[in-house]
Amino acid sequence: MALADLGRKITSALKSLSKATIINEEVLKAMLKDISTALLEADVNIKLVKQLRDNVSSDIKLDGMSLGLNKRKMIQQAVFRELTKLLEPGVRVWTPSKGQNNVIMCVGLQGSGKTTTSTKLAYYYRMKGWKTCLVCADTFRAGAFDQLKQNATKARIPFYGSYTEMDPVVIATEGVDKFKTENFEIIIVDTSGRHKQEDSLSEEMLQLSKALQPDNVVYVMDASIGQACESQAKAFKDKVDVASVIITKLDGHAKGGGALSAVAATGSPIIFIGTGEHIDDFEPFKTKPFISKLLGMGDMEGLVNVVKEFGKENKEAVIDRIQHGQFTLRDMHEQFQTLRKLGSYRQLLGMIPGFGVDFLSKEDEETWSARVKKMMVIMDSMNNHELDNYEGHKLFHKQPGRIQRVARGSGTDIKDVEDLLTKYNKFSKMVKNIGGLNGFFNGSFSSKHMNQNKVIKLTRQIAKIMPRRSLKQIGGMAGLQRLMRQFEQEVAKQLKGKSSINNM
């Protein structure tokens, strides 16, 4: 069972409490049974499930509680707390220190995603402004250095490795020493794996960690192997001092319960999760937001961070102009570029309450992303006069020769250019109304600025540019409107520093 289904099942079990007229032992038992079944189906270890069940039961003293509302709330909170415990070993999470060398060693079985994860991690820190590099200590698998080299080059991260040296300890020591003298802050060592836990691998990891004295040993765990995660994590933990865990392949349909609950076996916290093959399919892991999101409550904390980053990218002058109703093709180009930089639309949507991770399929996202790219290519063939015109749409239609020229220049069809202009026209109307996405996120889209009519108008405009299937999924226009109100309230609340995560 995919994680999203697990979330839905637990939520529905919790909701059954609201439906019950009285909450007694029987109702509580039935709810716990549903939750346990869902957890087991998602591959969570049976002992842990039993523990969760017992803990919730013993936490809740039904007799002492008077009001039904309180009972429900306390039961829901107990479940939330126990789910959190399942993922939190209660150990402080390691964080690197600025201005120092931090050596991170990634270990794990073959194919678990070490090389991919090493690059993702390096890219993550580089984007945050750390001086970052990669060292390839995998001499076991042919082509390992080439893979790392390719990944690192693409992400523009300095790397070290060798085609001829066969001793991983020698290479890793050379690489780490070199980068230390060059004052690199984050030095990530990618190691080799084996198909299963073997003595030779444990020995190699032990030698490496003795030689390198890493500040953090990260165990890279493949979520797709289910229950087997636990014994493997234990085996590693017995040999090397695993300090943190990164779970990979927690993509939309992964059955991640096994991996998530194996964390208890390592006693080490999860620090990141990998959610796809792409370099930015990678997120820092925080237990409470993760569970909130799993249960469909939305990860508002993550969303607000993204929004803050978004704000940084937008120039004030542009926002000001947009707020005064002037939105050019160049502005659209810039907004698209910022959106692309923010990474995955899927991740972004997954953070909004009511959407969930599965809202947009990988295919939908790829189609959407390819479309945006095409539109950007078309805009790249426009001249400054066209890009900076306040009514670009009209300019092109008055002088259709321009459409032909741009289509030729960008290697697209006239129809593609016309499509783009139509989208720009729709988009500019919408953006003008909300004062730009930034204005929307900053809460200028609040009751103070916007009356009921305007919200309805805006909802209609958003509905027009949304894929029809997605609109249907959220309950049509009414659903969208509700969602927008909820979204805006949540953002406003978060910006004021109140958290909605703890009050389930």
Q: Which of 36, 76, 101, 112 binds ligand GDP (CB under 6 A)?
A: 112
CA dist 495 and 491 (Å) reads: 6
Between 13 and 107, name the residue whose CB sits nearer to Mg ion: 107
User: β-pairing, 282-284 with 270-274?
Assistant: antiparallel
Cβ atoms of residues 109 and 200 within 8 Å: no
Between 204 and 416, name the residue whose CB sits nearer to ligand GDP: 204
Nearest to 76 by CA among 222, 257, 223, 292: 292
DSSP codes joined into one string, 193-231: --SS--HHHHHHHHHHHHHH--SEEEEEEEGGGTTHHHH
Q: Which of 7, 96, 108, 350 binds ligand GDP (CB under 6 A)?
A: 108
Between 82 and 251, name the residue whose CB sits nearer to ligand GDP: 251
- Examine residue 277 and tell whether it contacts ligand GDP (CB under 6 A): yes
* 113: partner contacted, choices Mg ion, ligand GDP, none (Cβ within 5-8 A by kind): ligand GDP
Q: Show the binding pattern over residues 104-143: x = contacts Mg ion (CB under 5 A), - = does not.
A: ----------xx----------------------------
- Examine residue 168 and tell whether it contacts ligand GDP (CB under 6 A): no
User: Which amino acid, one-letter code, is at 39?
Assistant: L
Q: What is the dihedral of CA 447, 450, 453, 458, to 10 degrees?
A: -110
The angle, 0 to 180 degrees and rounded to 10, between the axes of the packed helices 362-380 and 414-434 is 100
Q: Which of 8, 53, 72, 114 binds ligand GDP (CB under 6 A)?
A: 114
Compute the least distance from the CB of residue 115 to Mg ion, in Å: 3
CA dist 212 and 179 (Å) reads: 13
- Examine residue 350 and tell whether it contacts ligand GDP (CB under 6 A): no
* 111: partner contacted, choices ligand GDP, Mg ion, none (Cβ within 5-8 A by kind): ligand GDP
Between 115 and 459, name the residue whose CB sits nearer to ligand GDP: 115
CA dist 262 and 232 (Å) reads: 9
Nearest to 430 by CA among 396, 397, 453, 464: 464
Q: Which of 7, 96, 168, 193 binds ligand GDP (CB under 6 A)?
A: 193
Q: Which of 111, 226, 267, 479 binds ligand GDP (CB under 6 A)?
A: 111
Q: Show the binding pattern over residues 205-244: x = contacts Mg ion (CB under 5 A), - = does not.
A: ----------------------------------------
90 phi and psi angles, rounded to 5 deg: 75, 25
Between 282 and 327, name the residue whose CB sits nearer to ligand GDP: 282
Residue 307, token pair as written in the block: 């929004």
232-251 positions binding ligand GDP, by CB under 6 A: 248-249, 251
User: Which amino acid, one-letter code, is at 466?
Assistant: M
Q: How far apart are the first and last CA of the chain?
A: 24
Binding residues for Mg ion, rule: CB under 5 A, are: 114-115
The binding site for ligand GDP (CB under 6 A) comprises 108, 110-116, 193, 248-249, 251, 274-277, 281
